[in-house]
Amino acid sequence: MVLISTFLFFLLFSTSHAHLAPRTLLHSFSKSSTNSNRSLTTKELWFNQTLDHYSPLDHHKFQQRYYEFLDYFRVPDGPIFFENLWGILMRWDSQRLYRRESLRLITVLAKKFGAAVVSLEHRYYGKSLPFKSTTTENLRYLSSKQALFDLAVFRQYYQESLNLKLNRTGVENPWFVFGVSYSGALSAWFRLKFPHLTCGSLASSAVVLAVYNYSEFDQQIGESAGAECKAALQETTQLVEERLASNKKAVKTLFGAAGLEIDGDFLYFLADAAAIAFQYGNPDKLCPPLVQAKKDGEDLVEVYAKYVKEYYVGNFGVSIQTYDQRHLKDTTLSENTGDRLWWFQVCTEVAYFQVAPTNDSIRSSQVDSRYHVDLCKKVFGEDIYPEVDTTNLYYGGTNIAGSKIIFTNGSQDPWRHASKQISSPDMPSFVMSCHNCGHGTDMRGCPQSPFNIEGNAKNCGSPDAVEKVRHQIIEKMDLWLSECHASGRSSM
């Protein structure tokens, strides 16, 4: 999911995200940039948001947090970038978002267009909490549909507030929507459902296709890894399964994951550890040591355990409890509540079940659809099931019938198969190809170890490929925003 004539540029990031089962989307922003001193703003602002946009009888409200950065805003007719804070909120306070170097491209664009930046926090995440606990009953208003209406309602509120500040009435600004990962999907869906409120959208690594059995995820890992690394990973999985059968406590302890009592949770944890290397542009951290160990006859399980503990848990910063179903059942509010929230969205709307393919799988065959369905039922209740067909019917999946939406994907990103990769009229799709072009590469570049979400294009295997797509994005923005500006409308 990715702000007089002004355009409001909805920057809807994800991590996330993706999540994501969905845990790899969940970890889209699982490492904050504590070393960066760049800070746009940390001043919290609040908006009284409608809880249920679909009920004419329920008028309950909740406080939704947002931020604004106006240093580059060209009064009165400059653009505004508006982002929906999602992925990073799963583990940290939203204020840290503004210390992320990943905003570099956004600040460059803000300066170029004379834009303000406005950021709205996704409902339920961070401090935008409708309830004091996350019981399944309380989560009934957590959905992409409600989130899209949040954006639309807030957009109207912010527009009216801006007009009031500028002592004008009835002025409609050109808006543009923008996002990465799940928020990239929200970006595309916002343009689809509210075309009168935006001039266009950028949907970076946008997972617009809900998928029940997402076996393409594992297949892409194998393709991105190459023959030697894929073989080493497959052998490692086989050895881990054998040791689980003979002495599960010892092998789980080796990976620092003795607390994961359910074997499926443990095997999912190991599968995600490998996937992250390709998803976020760090294949060299995983493959060369593992391939060399296989050639030298070393213990692949020990070598892989070293990678998992030092990189995935250490540098990348994943919390092992994210994979523990007991943790996911916890309904109390904490800094890790986002784990449960995203799983609820997965278990009700989009699935993205990262199952092992029938043949030639890297991940364990125990990570199957039954594992995911059982998790959803155990964590949220027997009646919980992902309505994938309904979601795709509502949004269109990769056959989305929108316009003026830019889709971008990295060639090595396992999530790209849930995105729109084929251009259609008025919806260009660009794929950046290089050995480490992953999730959100157009916005975040190619991070390398230690994990740094502020990665830039020069770290990509083909910097020119990334820069070319960035120029294409700017060209489309210029065109669509100019068309809006010329018409005097906020959308076209």
Residues marked active site are found at 181, 413, 439
Q: Is the dihedral of CA 90, 94, 98, 104 positive or negative?
A: positive
β-bridge mates for residue 81, sequence order:
9, 117
Range list of β-strands (E), 338-399: 351-353
Asked whether the beta carbons of 290 and 304 are under 8 A apart, the reply is yes
Integer CA distances (angstroms), 446 to 16, 186, 207, 275, 475, in order: 16, 23, 19, 15, 22
**Which 3 state secondary structure label does DSSP give 213?**
strand
Tokens read off for 65: 């947090």
Tokens read off for 341: 């929230």
Rounded-to-integer distance, Cα 150 and Cα 355, Å: 32
Rounded-to-integer distance, Cα 180 and Cα 166, Å: 32
CA torsion 24-224-301-272 (nearest 10°) is 10
Rounded-to-integer distance, Cα 295 and Cα 374, Å: 39
Integer CA distances (angstroms), 180 to 284, 441, 458, in order: 24, 9, 20
Rounded-to-integer distance, Cα 120 and Cα 94, Å: 10
Q: Is the dihedral of CA 124, 127, 132, 135 positive or negative?
A: positive
Q: What is the DSSP letter of 82?
A: E
Tokens read off for 169: 């009435």
End-to-end CA separation in angstroms for the chain: 21
Q: What is the DSSP letter of 489?
A: S
Integer CA distances (angstroms), 167 to 4, 38, 202, 488, in order: 10, 33, 31, 18
Pairing of strands 45-50, 61-69: antiparallel
DSSP secondary structure, 395-418, as one string: H-GGG---SSEEEEEETT-TTGGG
Pairing of strands 116-121, 61-69: antiparallel
